Chain A
Amino acid sequence: MIGTRQLILFLRTLFYSAGTGVLVMIIGALAASVLWTFRQNTLTRLLKPLFILCCVMVFVPPYVHALAWADLFYRYGLEGLAASLWVMVMALLPMGLGFSLLGFYLVEDAMVEAGRTLNRDSIVMKTIILPIALPAMISGMVFAFLWTIHDFSVPSLFFVNIYALEIFAKYSATNHPFEPFVLSLPMIGVATIMIVYVSNYSKKLMMGLRKGQTKESLPLIMPIWLRSLQIVALAILIIQISIPVISLIIKVATPSNIWISILQARRELGFTLLLSTLTATLSVIVALFLAKKVVGVGGRYRLLIWVCILLPLAIPAPLVGIGLVTLFSQPGMGLIYGTLWMPVLANMIRFAPLAFITMSVQLKRMDQGLLDSASVFQKNRIHGFVRVYLPMMLPGIIAAFLVVFILTTGELGATLLVSPPGRTTLTMRIYNYMHYGSSQMIAGLCLTMLVSSLSIGLIVYRLFRKTGGDR
């Protein structure tokens, strides 16, 4: 069923996704190590806003980065796989940075200090800090890999064929679900292995989020070559944020153009808001229920349950759409076919696992002692739930809602297949126009997308910062 051409394409996609993942991890880890090794330095205090901004850039859809970089690439003749890879690295760098920071926060101060009294800082970094932080960094690489292997919006803009696009094209050509499904199997296999790895490590990652750094230690003394690489990584971080912002502002030219583009796309904007709100609300309800059930489960069942819940992340976006179309076009199943509920369901399948992760993190961060004391003093269960549990859980609920909301607004692979006739999302409109070359209108919409994504990202950051250990 899978021909030589497709096998080569699959390997090429693996190489492209792995390359993106590795680069994201290396640059992210180097940049994150600046915050770790120079903790007391004034420089780090200045850099903190940069790190926060970079982390929340994870909510900016990759195609916004693509549009921002496209002109530069065309000017210097960079195209194809290299251009696509660079844009994906820029889009997913926040994952590398975020997970690396998390990894470094998993290393307790006392462990570093015990090492520092016995050996030089570079050895402490190599033998103590990095081995403890590495699994978290690899988790970041895995998420970047999964994202890249499923995303065809960026490669297609640079005229690169990748395996996810092949699945989409196969379905478009045959209108039959079997062949795309078989084509997806190798991709699902690789992605599942990655998900098992992340699930296995998830408990430890969540514990890391509970800790805060307290001591004001002296900065670690690192060799000059490492410091040079750290500076390069910081420069890339600055570029990653500034290029999309500056490039889009230049393209938009005047603020009125933003307003005009929003007005022209108001139908799509309305549909997108409705779709995202419904998806996020339902995802949060499902995720809250699941997280409450799962978070206390231990042993081998824990891994199995986590893998099952996160497994939808392994399914290529077009296959989610194809599956839904096939299922709901069967006789007797057509109740939601061609309605708004199709893209809602598709986006829920894709992003509810992320809401589950967010909610589980919040549940883990909650002080069990406070819940226990509520169960002793509460008037009844509802009283305890409303006055103690819900307020403690609220930041997680809002964060999960916003995560799903913003990812749904940027989703393309599945929505493209299941959107009701005559209805398009903002992303679909931007994507369609992008193939005709960038214009002020697209730039205006992308800038709107960028600003709203960043604002929502900052809200999510603030919510988690408020209830967790302050970094």
Chain B
Amino acid sequence: MNQSSVLLKIIQLNKSYGNQKILDNISFEVMSGDSIALMGPSGSGKTTLFRLITGLEIPDSGEIYLEDKLVTSAKKSVPPFHRNLGVVFQNPALWPHMDVLSNIMFATQKNDIKDIHEFVDLVIDEMEIRPLLKAYPSRLSGGEARRVSIARALASRPKLMLMDEPLTNLDSVLKGKMLEMIKRVTREFETTLIYITHDETEANYISDKCYRLSNGVLTLG
């Protein structure tokens, strides 16, 4: 993997809801292979930025490039599934009518990746969820549901993983284990990571570089 190439480039991104400015002229770059933490208190605009990168919302102005391709501007928005992102939400968002394996395999339907089944097998082992494959989400514990949700995000072999406070509501022991697991798998699968959190310990552990978002303004460090 080329460590020096720019994977994600955000230029002067602005977003408001009504009169409330959520993001104010945000610009930053993420290089391939980076692990970035995006920190900030509740209501600082972290989730809005996450949703803009995933393509679930459009900005008022500004541009987002993925591998030099314009994917988001005020006028243009490439659909989320065309962005090749792995996304983990605050809520595991597992589909209740599908078992664990179907939840994971849904992510592999969109593209014709060679050896996808071998790759999914690997992800399943890495996330230690093989015994859960036939289970339905309602039977999973909080930690198991998060692991499945991460496995689903990894299954499509994304270049960029986005995680929006994925460990919310987990106890500290489980959180520690999950953090270690996330760090290991993203390195193993050479996936670039943007990890959104309000927890400084989590941010320091998982990232090489840490951005802070406060009142819609982004600063490094």
Q: Do A and B bind each other?
A: yes
Q: Give A contacts to B, CB under 8 Å.
A: 108, 110-111, 113-121, 123, 127-128, 131-132, 215-218, 221
Chain B 68-100 interface residues, beta-carbon cutoff 8 Å to A: 77, 79-81, 83, 85, 87, 89-91, 93-98
Give Cα distance in the complex from A218 to B76, angstroms.
Answer: 12
Give Cα distance in the complex from A123 to B91, angstroms.
Answer: 21
Give Cα distance in the complex from A127 to B55, angstroms.
Answer: 21
Q: Give B contacts to A, CB under 8 Å.
A: 17, 51, 54-58, 77, 79-81, 83, 85, 87, 89-91, 93-98, 106-107, 109-110, 149, 152, 156
Tell me whether chain B's interface is mostly helix, strand or loop, or mixed.
Answer: loop
Contact partners of B107 in chain A: CB under 8 A: 118-119
B80 near A117: Cβ-Cβ < 8 Å: yes
Give the 8 A-B residue pairs with the shortest CB-CB distance, closest first. Answer: A110-B93, A114-B93, A117-B87, A117-B80, A118-B107, A110-B91, A116-B80, A131-B97
A111 near B95: Cβ-Cβ < 8 Å: yes
Our pick among B55, B85, B90, B110 for the contact of A119 (Cβ within 8 Å) is B110
Give Cα distance in the complex from A110 to B168, angstroms.
Answer: 15
B91 near A217: Cβ-Cβ < 8 Å: no
A120 near B89: Cβ-Cβ < 8 Å: no
B106 near A116: Cβ-Cβ < 8 Å: no
Contact partners of A108 in chain B: CB under 8 A: 91, 93
Our pick among A127, A132, A217 for the contact of B106 (Cβ within 8 Å) is A127
Our pick among A111, A132, A215, A221 for the contact of B79 (Cβ within 8 Å) is A221
A118 near B89: Cβ-Cβ < 8 Å: no
Give Cα distance in the complex from A215 to B110, angstroms.
Answer: 25
The smallest C-beta distance from B23 to any residue of chain A, in angstroms, reads 14
B109 near A119: Cβ-Cβ < 8 Å: yes
Closest B residue, CB atoms, query A204 = B96
Contact partners of B54 in chain A: CB under 8 A: 113, 117
Contact partners of B109 in chain A: CB under 8 A: 118-119, 123
Give Cα distance in the complex from A264 to B97, angstroms.
Answer: 57
Q: Which of A117, A118, A120, A217 has the most CB of B within 10 A?
A: A117
Closest B residue, CB atoms, query A135 = B97
Give Cα distance in the complex from A115 to B106, angstroms.
Answer: 8
B89 near A128: Cβ-Cβ < 8 Å: no
* With A132-B96, A217-B57, A218-B57: A113-B89 Cβ-Cβ less than 8 Å: yes
List 7 A–B pairs whose Cβ atoms lie within 8 Å, in order of A's numbering.
A111-B93, A114-B89, A117-B55, A118-B87, A119-B109, A120-B79, A128-B106
Give Cα distance in the complex from A127 to B17, angstroms.
Answer: 31
Contact partners of B156 in chain A: CB under 8 A: 118
Contact partners of A114 in chain B: CB under 8 A: 87, 89, 93, 95, 149, 152
Contact partners of B51 in chain A: CB under 8 A: 215
The smallest C-beta distance from B98 to any residue of chain A, in angstroms, reads 8
Closest A residue, CB atoms, query B58 = A218
A120 near B95: Cβ-Cβ < 8 Å: no
* With A118-B106, A127-B106: A132-B95 Cβ-Cβ less than 8 Å: yes
A119 near B81: Cβ-Cβ < 8 Å: yes
Give Cα distance in the complex from A121 to B79, angstroms.
Answer: 9
Give Cα distance in the complex from A469 to B105, angstroms.
Answer: 33
The smallest C-beta distance from A126 to any residue of chain B, in angstroms, reads 11
Give Cα distance in the complex from A132 to B79, angstroms.
Answer: 23
Contact partners of A119 in chain B: CB under 8 A: 81, 106-107, 109-110
Closest A residue, CB atoms, query B137 = A111
A117 near B81: Cβ-Cβ < 8 Å: yes
Give Cα distance in the complex from A221 to B17, angstroms.
Answer: 23
Our pick among A113, A131, A221 for the contact of B56 (Cβ within 8 Å) is A113
Contact partners of B93 in chain A: CB under 8 A: 108, 110-111, 113-114
Q: Which of A111, A114, A116 has the most CB of B within 10 A?
A: A114
The smallest C-beta distance from A136 to any residue of chain B, in angstroms, reads 13
Closest B residue, CB atoms, query A110 = B93
